[in-house]
Structure 1
């Protein structure tokens, strides 16, 4: 857990840290168990954490591979994981990683929705 972060603020953290590597690998394993998939965790390439009351949320960009017919393919995913103060973890989501342009479009659409409410 990061020290002296403000509650609720997303803060970049080292994607190569042992904590992020552990949480990333766990997220892929948990996803596989819940969805009957066979993704193989490879590495994290970006990570943020958000301190909240009772734990920490992690948003991690990671590479995972899978077999597609006779080929092994790599794909980028985004994992959102909650870790409580007792080190219990919950996978909130694991989904294909959105490219920067897609993220900007979604953020813009969300801002338009917030302006009309």
Structure 2
């Protein structure tokens, strides 16, 4: 049958990926603000020297952050497919526990089984 523990592991990885994306977005915002601030100071005559070098360094750092964001977005796309599979898993559990045997009791053999061998749901 389906392994509930693998499903939980995938959900944990999905949460971790979303946290990484949030962190990358925050880093991009900070770097973008720094670049804008440097450009503004350059335009007003502050930092007439060395600011071009700093802008180049900041632009390179922003590019690296954007590359990480794109990688994280690909992970989110994968997570979305896993989540859709998770909805299917929950539906499978609902269907398997709704089926009943001839004597009116739910079949313990259908659906997901927990580690102790009894029938369980994805929420166990």
TM-score using structure 1 length: 0.20
From the CA coordinates, give the structure whose radius of gyration is larger: 2
Bigger proportion of residues as helix: 2
* Structure number with higher relative contact order (C-alpha < 8 Å, ≥ 6 residues apart): 2
TM-score using structure 2 length: 0.19
Bigger proportion of residues as strand: 1
